[in-house]
């Protein structure tokens, strides 16, 4: 009788052990798959979107980029003395750093206006032997320096080095629209009025190289697809966005190259059809048309131009609150729109594994290689695990997909998520070390994190 009881007990114990083993095996192999819908909402994100002037007191929540231009006259009122205090205050540099925003920079030597003035310093005017020409013409009044002057070239190199030492160290300047030459820094002058022409290629290169040295981590853009832009992997910008004829001319240079009308040089404007895959397309809305024409009457045409140009940012001329629908439609068709279409979470013998399917429904990639993380929080919201996701986010082009596999230390994560744990994904800005990119998907977005569970 005792022997039977022992056997019965052994059977019960064995049954329990086997059941537990089966449960453990099932839990260790449990897999959960979730699919997500793409969002059609319009919103801004870091490194893209509208770019109002940095001196604006109020900017909307969708603004992450600000525009700052600096004239040489305001930068260096005395030779070797730089007016940083005034420039930083006017452009609210400490505020934008604190708020985690980034800047587009353009250095300018000649801005036509209604009044006679000069945008290079008085000391440089005298030191260069007054090299240049005062003008009063179709574009307005001003002084066009002779950019061939060895003195101006030498002093320009020093000025750019100083700008880089002040602004180029922490990632605040994300994009440099390479100005320096021509009216508005756009590499053209109205030479029909007797103004000295833009220099030829050998001299122009002396205005380009200092920027590559001063801002090695910023992305540089040029007004035209010069051979130098192709050589250095620069982006391009179009300050006539929204104007059909001018934009088609700009796109024509990009597709076919052509002659540089400012100098008559051939083969210095080259085809750069795929530049946008690795470097940004920027610019601003033209002043030749009203916002009503661009964002209301011909909104579909404007959006088509922006998409064809693979535009990532536009400013400082941007729409106001009178064109809400057009504003949103243009914003939705600029830059990257990253999202996750599917997530698969599987328990493993040593933790969990997260498989994600990434997509980009925008018109351009996210050009900076910012780190991507998965975050796991417990029921109280405390972070219990943060793991780096192995993905080269800048390589995710529009219309393409990418898959990532990430090993997580947290065990039985599926069960924990059912009990109140949360899992999110975020892209962190190295300048702030905080997540800040909203994904284009229908899911909770909170404090820079996109919640998948």
Tokens read off for 272: 């750069």
pTM, entire model: 0.92
Q: Under CATH, to which class is 31-40+337-451 assigned?
A: mainly beta
Distances (CA, A) of 161 to 21, 49, 75, 80, 151: 68, 28, 12, 11, 16
For the domain made up of 49-332, give the CATH fold. Answer: TIM Barrel (3.20.20)
> What is the DSSP track for 294-331?
IIIITHHHHHHHHHHTTB-EE-SS---GGGHHHHHHHH
pLDDT at position 321, please?
Answer: 84
The burial class, CB within 10 Å (0-12 / 13-18 / 19+), for 250 is buried
The pLDDT, as a whole number, for residue 29 is: 52
| Contact of 434 with 427, CB cutoff 8 Å | no
d(CA 384, CA 423): 10
- From residue 128, give the alpha-carbon distance in Å to each of 131, 201, 347, 386: 6, 21, 72, 58
Low-confidence ranges of the chain (pLDDT < 70): 1-29
Separation between Cα atoms, residue 440 and residue 37, nearest integer Å: 9
* Per-residue pLDDT at 20: 42
pLDDT at 26: 42
User: pLDDT tens digits, residue range 376-398?
Assistant: 999 999 999 999 999 999 999 99
What pLDDT does 28 receive? Answer: 45
- Residue ranges of domains in the chain: 31-40+337-451, 49-332
The answer to whether 395 and 360 are in contact (CB under 8 A) is no
Residue 442: both structure tokens together:
């229908």
Tokens of 421: 């744990």
Which of 387, 437, 450, 444 is closest to 62 using CA atoms? 437
The predicted pLDDT at position 92 comes to 98
């Amino acid at each position: 009788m005792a022997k039977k009881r022992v056997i019965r007990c052994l059977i019960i114990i064995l049954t329990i052990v086997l059941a537990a083993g089966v449960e453990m095996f099932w839990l260790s192999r449990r897999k959960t798959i979730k699919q997500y819908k793409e969002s059609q909402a319009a919103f801004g994100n870091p490194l893209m979107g509208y770019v109002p002037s940095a001196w604006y007191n109020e900017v909307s929540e969708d603004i992450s980029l600000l525009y700052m231009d600096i004239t040489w006259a305001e930068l260096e009122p005395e030779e070797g003395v730089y007016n940083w205090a005034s420039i930083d205050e006017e452009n609210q540099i400490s505020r934008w750093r604190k708020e985690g925003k980034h800047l587009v920079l353009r250095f300018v030597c000649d801005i036509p206006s209604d009044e006679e003035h000069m945008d290079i310093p008085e000391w440089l005017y005298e030191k260069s032997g007054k090299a240049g020409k005062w003008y009063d013409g179709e574009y307005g009044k001003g002084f066009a320096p002779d950019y061939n002057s060895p003195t101006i070239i030498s002093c320009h190199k020093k000025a750019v080095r100083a700008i880089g030492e002040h602004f180029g160290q922490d990632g605040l300047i994300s994009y440099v629209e390479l100005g320096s030459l021509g009216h508005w820094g756009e590499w053209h002058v109205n030479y029909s009025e007797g103004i000295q022409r833009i220099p030829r290629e050998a001299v122009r290169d002396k205005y380009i190289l200092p920027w590559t040295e001063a801002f090695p981590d910023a992305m540089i853009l040029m007004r035209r697809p010069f051979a130098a832009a192709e050589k250095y992997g620069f982006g391009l910008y179009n300050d006539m966005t929204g104007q059909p004829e001018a934009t088609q001319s700009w796109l024509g240079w990009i597709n076919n190259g052509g002659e540089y009308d400012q100098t008559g040089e051939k083969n210095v404007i080259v085809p750069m059809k795929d530049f946008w895959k690795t470097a940004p397309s920027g610019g601003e809305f033209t002043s030749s048309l009203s916002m009503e024409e661009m964002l209301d009457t011909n909104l579909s045409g404007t959006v088509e131009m922006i998409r064809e140009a693979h535009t990532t940012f536009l400013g400082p001329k941007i729409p106001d609150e009178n064109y809400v629908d057009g504003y949103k439609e243009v914003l939705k068709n600029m830059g990257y729109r990253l999202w996750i279409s599917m997530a698969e979470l599987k328990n493993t013998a040593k933790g969990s594994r997260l498989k994600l399917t990434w997509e980009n429904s925008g018109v351009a990639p996210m050009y900076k290689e910012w780190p991507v993380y998965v975050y796991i929080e417990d029921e109280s919201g405390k972070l219990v695990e943060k793991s780096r996701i192995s993905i080269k986010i800048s390589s995710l082009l529009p219309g393409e997909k990418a898959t990532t596999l990430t090993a997580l230390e947290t065990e039985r994560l599926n069960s924990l998520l059912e009990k109140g744990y949360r899992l999110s994904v975020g892209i962190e800005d190295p300048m702030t070390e905080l997540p800040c990119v909203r994904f284009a998907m229908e899911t909770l977005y909170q404090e820079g994190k996109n919640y998948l569970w």
